A and B are shown apart, each in its own frame.
Chain A
Amino acid sequence: QVQLQESGPGLVKPSETLSLTCTVSGGSISSYYWSWIRQPPGKGLEWIGYIYYSGTTNYNPSLKSRVTISVDTSKIQFSLKLSSVTAADTAVYYCARGSGNYGYWGQGTLVTVSS
């Protein structure tokens, strides 16, 4: 059974870079797309972007200038970096498998942007 687990700091200062990693277990990272989705507290879901295991990416234009998603197949991990964060980036960040529909999700990690 494929499992995903997000990890990273729960608190980030304004203007700094948010960095999260998603570790995949129980399956291969190859031949799949891997995504990041976020959810501000009490609000709906926002797609951030995805990466193919080969490294091809697709980002939400609303975040594109600040987002980088990368993959490390040797570690069976993929990562999210979001630069120049503000309070509006406070959210639960989920990693998920896929590029269209999402059958596998991590449990989510709350990242708060605050000084």
Chain B
Amino acid sequence: DIQMTQSPSSLSASVGDRVSITCRASQSISNYLNWYQQKPGKAPKLLIYAASSLQSGVPSRFSGSGSGTDFTLTISSLQPEDFAVYYCQQSYSTPLTFGGGTKVEIK
């Protein structure tokens, strides 16, 4: 199985901050990397697919980059509605696997 490691596991930030979350795969996954946002009691929401493609309807302050084993999700200017848990997920091979999550909290 491909292991997905996210860092940090949590972070505190203020509205307007630029925030970056990293995800590392245990082997090369090309660009088969997706990012999700999950709020309490809700299903995950797809933000970014194929490492850098913005899902329809997702604000442009979200962006993704990377290929191979190292990936980054960036929120250019954190908004109040962005406080949530973020997960990366590889779709290179089955079993599909997710990172452990990064909780973005209000400072």
| Interface assignment of A53: CB less than 8 Å from any CB of chain B | no
Bound-state CA distance A47–B92 (Å) is 13
| Interface assignment of A31: CB less than 8 Å from any CB of chain B | no
Q: Nearest-CB distance from A109 to chain B (Å)?
A: 11
Instruction: Check B98 against A45 for contact (C-beta < 8 Å).
Output: yes
Chain A residues, CB < 8 A from B50? 101
Which residues of chain B from 35 to 50 have a CB within 8 Å of any chain A CB?
A: 36, 42-46, 49-50
| Interface assignment of A27: CB less than 8 Å from any CB of chain B | no
Size class of the contact patch on chain B = 20 to 34
Q: A58-B94, A101-B91 are in contact. Are A44 and B43 (CB under 8 A)?
A: no
Chain A residues, CB < 8 A from B96? 47, 100
Chain A interface helix/strand/loop/mixed: loop
Instruction: Check B44 against A47 for contact (C-beta < 8 Å).
Output: no
Bound-state CA distance A45–B44 (Å) is 9
Interface core residue of B34, B49, B94, B98 (most chain A CB under 10 Å)? B94
Instruction: Check A44 against B100 for contact (C-beta < 8 Å).
Output: yes
Interface core residue of B1, B36, B91, B95 (most chain A CB under 10 Å)? B95
Instruction: Return the contact of B89 from the options A45, A60, A103, A106 (Cβ within 8 A).
Output: A45
| Interface assignment of A72: CB less than 8 Å from any CB of chain B | no
| Interface assignment of A26: CB less than 8 Å from any CB of chain B | no
Bound-state CA distance A33–B97 (Å) is 17
Closest to B90 in A: A100
Chain A residues, CB < 8 A from B101? 44
Q: Nearest-CB distance from B47 to chain A (Å)?
A: 10
Chain B residues, CB < 8 A from A108? 43
Chain B residues, CB < 8 A from A47? 94-98
Chain A residues, CB < 8 A from B45? 105
Instruction: Check A101 against B43 for contact (C-beta < 8 Å).
Output: no
| Interface assignment of B62: CB less than 8 Å from any CB of chain A | no
Bound-state CA distance A58–B34 (Å) is 19
Top 6 A-B residue pairs of the complex, sorted by shortest distance between their CB atoms = A100-B91, A105-B43, A47-B96, A45-B98, A60-B95, A101-B34
